Structure 1
């Protein structure tokens, strides 16, 4: 089953179950998908495209959570945390620390990186190969330390 069909099915189930947080999250996600489809002149999105949209929304929720926490708005931070948890169920299992280090090493070898100037190419390869499985900030720090050494 495609990811788009799964999202539609989950939306209907959440709506019937009156799961307001999940309904809101899926409604936002479906809107983002429809917007992307309209930009592409109605072309059907692949699962990778949808995963990219989900990853973007996860990043937005994490940023909002951090900002609300810093501002002392625990009520809004709680809502963001619930929405974040719902979105993360659609992402593939994230790489562990050892797996991430091995993936970075493979990307460095694949690109032929010799220094920090190759960081962009390494990150592009890493994130392209492991869509939705890598936290960009964490990977960036590890790639930077790996290429600086």
Structure 2
């Protein structure tokens, strides 16, 4: 996947087309990836590590969006919505709810889970498979729903 070359190209394109907001988000993503590489002491991040950084950045923005909407700050909420759109460009395609339910059903059968108490086992099997492909809160909600049915 190595995102840095793609981010560099997109950054040049954003500069040429004078897309300030997109440029800002790309620079932020590059910095986050480079900081993570430095923190881990690596020259280059693996695809999985890049995905972890992107997921973290996306989650931070979603949390901020929720807080801004709660506080009635539509100006800031709009800015964060645009940032989320740009970050999503670099994320893998998200799974549909139906695809998620099928994967969750397989994990429930695989772990032999039968009650809500087994949710940790199911989530432990699911999250590595779904990393970056589904929102953790949605996965958790669906697991609960399927374990109770």
Q: Deviations over 1:80-115 (max 9, x none)?
A: 000000111111111111101001011222333233
1:12 counterpart residue number? 12
1:60–1:105 CA distance, 2 compared to 1 (3 A): same
Q: Deviations over 1:46-89 (max 9, x none)?
A: 12211111111111111111111111111000000000001111
2:142 counterpart residue number? 142
* 1:116 Cα deviation after fit: 2.4
1: CA distance between counterparts of 2:16 and 2:88? 21
The yes-or-no answer on 1:35 pairing with 2:25 is no
1:91 counterpart residue number? 91
Structure 2: tracts of 5 or more residues without a match: none
Moved more, 3-12 or 32-41: 3-12
Q: Deviations over 1:99-145 (max 9, x none)?
A: 01001011222333233233223223222112211111111011112
1: CA distance between counterparts of 2:62 and 2:2? 26
2: CA distance between counterparts of 1:66 and 1:52? 21
Structure 1: tracts of 5 or more residues without a match: none
Divergent runs of 4+, >3 A: none
* 1:14 Cα deviation after fit: 1.3
Taking structure 1 as the reference length, the TM-score comes to 0.90
Contact 2:54/2:87 (CA < 8 Å) preserved in 1? Answer: yes
2: CA distance between counterparts of 1:25 and 1:41? 24
The yes-or-no answer on 1:51 pairing with 2:81 is no
2: CA distance between counterparts of 1:106 and 1:3? 31
